[in-house]
Amino acid sequence: MLTKSEFAARILNGHTPSIKEKATAFAPANIALVKYWGKRDSKLNLPVTDSLSIDLGNLGTETTIEHSPDGQDTVILNGNKLAQDDPFAVKVINFVDLFRSALNQTAINRPALTITTTNNIPTGAGVASSASGFAALTKALDQFFGLALAGRELSLLANLGSGSASRSIFKGFVFRHAGTESDGMDSYSEPLPCTWPELKIGLITVSAKAKRVSSRDGMERTVATSPLYKTWPDKVKEDMAKMLAAIKSKDFELLGATAESNALAMHECMRAATPPLNYFEPETEAIISKVQKLRQEGLSIYLTIDAGPNVKLLYLNKDEEKVKTEFPDMRVVNR
């Protein structure tokens, strides 16, 4: 089984770097309409199941990489310079080292870097900031080292930072292959060749605070202890077939119902873990009830929720004014 360093080296070996002075890249956050929850290999972030997401447009992360003036690696998050031992800084530098170590095999120097990353979404609150963060970092590293990697290669590398980051390399509907190979080289993301301009997303931020339990730890607990998890792979397989059919035929009711069912089933699995894992706040529960009530009253609206308390509403453009009236604090995602 490969280590992360060996995995990165497989992709980067053979590429001749051409180091730039500075590089900046943006990656969108994404929401999984068919969720990724559980890993078959935790070291390489290889998922148990396929997943499918849609991007959040201009909501995500911008990352700039440049040479460090003092010869020391520096990480700046949302305007704040982090200490060298800050957990986020350590994770970022370790990820950067995957590139530097692999590319050192071609005898380049090992530059000290300043990595400046800015999120325009809450960090660590269940709005996929890690996905956009590591996707943006991967894209910026690709530009900084002048590698011109293909999308599949970028998605494979971004996955080493965060499993959902593999999907944030692309815009639109993105399919993540779980893969079956132990080396993980067949576990990548690719965009689906379709668009749906009428499909709209509304983000309701219940809490911008970092989660008490990270997605990584939550996955491990659920897989290890939840008796409901054994049915999760079959649920994903069933929902994926419905979701692909819904996107192909532009069947909003099927898309919305499938996404909502999949999300609530994932959270049900979590709550059955030991100890129970509940990311919802009382306001989250209230929004779920309100959405379901509005649907019974004739408004075509659905929801999905990742590993956190924040809710993403799914609706069609023709209903936007009605949805905004019911949820005035909703942030409309412009895609």
Q: Predicted confidence band at 90 (pLDDT cuts at 50, 70, 90)?
A: very high
Strands 39-41 and 46-47: antiparallel
Q: What is the pLDDT of residue 195?
A: 95
Q: How many helices (H) and strands (E) does the chain have?
A: 10, 13
Query: In this predicted model, what pLDDT tens digit does every residue of 232-247 receive, in sequence order?
Result: 999 999 999 999 999 9
For 118, 122, 208, 286, 310, the CA distances from 205, given in Å and listed in that order, are: 18, 8, 7, 13, 5
pLDDT digits (tens, 9 = 90+) for 280-311: 999 999 999 999 999 999 999 999 999 999 99
According to the model, what pLDDT value does residue 106 have?
A: 47
pTM: 0.94
Domains in the chain with CATH codes? 4-191 (3.30.230.10), 199-333 (3.30.70.890)
